[in-house]
Amino acid sequence: METEDGITYLEETASVTKLDSFMIFGGESTLYPERTVKLFQKASTLSIPKIELITNGSWGEDRKRAQNLANQLKDAGVNEILISVDAFHLPHIPLAHPRNAALASLAAGIDKVAWNVAILEGENALNKFDQQTGEILRTLAPLGVEVHRNKLWPQGRARTTLRRFFPRQSLEGKCSEAETALINPTCVTLDSRGWASICWGLAIGNAKKEHLSRILTFYHWKNHPVIQTLVENGPKGLIELPEAAGFEFEEERYIDKCHLCAGIRKFLKPKHPEMFVSA
């Protein structure tokens, strides 16, 4: 994301609502440290209480550079850093890198530094991924860093490569995130293309085409037929939409309601390009 765009989005959002938190997360924003620091500086001037970074810690490769960046992040107002470490990150990032990033963040005086850990079945599960993640956490334990555990959910490539680990759930009923994601969104994600999304790949507008302040001010779930259907009837309700004609529904293909929702929305994307974007 260009710095100017991010600053504009922050200003416009702050003009219409009180921001409780601001987070920058993946792709890896520390590949563009100057942009990242400038955006955090802007967030700090808006008196946002929680200013967070999720990172893979790759910037810890060089200890001196890591300390310099950590100091800049602290000075820019960052008060929480979550560093991703687990079996899924390890093949791509040597463990020493996030370890050094954590040490630098602690030395810089960042208020909260924590490991951001993806769990597949459970910390004591016997699958190779959770077993390796457990070994990683035991190796890092002497640092005394808090651990945030996040249960993986079937999205993206995980729906195929890790499918055997996800127990099938009922496809019936309404969206479990309807209240906080669709009716009264508590979080909006902006990507580099300007899409403002309230759920995985579900956009309510494009901030490069329309002022974000206007998008947020005039959003109402009943103004979007697809979102209204999700709220009132759940993902299976999307199958009944006229534009879903031709969608081949095979119940056994889907792990849960979110999986089904993503599948139907992919089918509907050509007819709703302004709403369904690639996550």
Number of structural domains the chain divides into: 2
Question: Which residue has tokens 């955006």?
Answer: 39
21 strand-pairing partners: 50
Q: Residue 169: inside a domain, yes or no?
A: no
- pLDDT score for 19: 95
Q: Is residue 190 part of a domain?
A: yes
Residue partners of 32: CB distance under 8 A and separation at least 6: none
The whole domain housing 83 covers 3-152
- Residue 27: CB atoms within 10 A of its CB come to 11
Query: Do 141 and 183 share a domain, yes or no?
Result: no
Q: Each residue of 26-79: pLDDT tens digit? A: 889 999 999 999 999 999 999 999 999 999 999 999 999 999 999 999 999 999
Asked whether residue 148 falls in the same domain as residue 183, the answer is: no
CA–CA gap between residue 99 and residue 107 (Å, rounded):
12
Q: At 138, which CATH number?
A: 3.20.20.70
If one counts every other C-beta atom within 10 angstroms of the C-beta of residue 108, the result is 20
Please report the pLDDT score of residue 81 as a whole number: 98
Rounded to an integer, what distance in angstroms lies between the CA atom of residue 262 and that of residue 260?
5
139, two tokens: 């190796």
Residue found by looking up tokens 């459970």 in the block: 122
Q: Return the pLDDT at 153.
A: 83
Q: What is the pLDDT of residue 273?
A: 81
Q: Is the separation of the CB atoms in 268 and 244 below 8 Å?
A: yes
Q: Per the confidence metrics, is the pTM higher than 0.75?
A: yes
Token readout for 42 is 């802007």
* 41 close to 16: Cβ distance less than 8 angstroms: no
Give pLDDT, residue 156: 81
Quick check: 241 pLDDT over 70? Answer: yes
- Give the pair of three-digit tokens for residue 228: 């209204």
Q: What is the DSSP string of 195-233?
A: EEEEETTEEEEETTTS-HHHHHHT--GGGSHHHHHHHHH
Percentage of the chain beyond pLDDT 90 is 84
Same domain? 134 vs 33: yes
Q: How does pLDDT run across 200-236, given as a tens digit for each residue? A: 889 999 999 999 999 999 999 999 889 999 999 999 9
Same domain membership, residue 201 and residue 265: yes
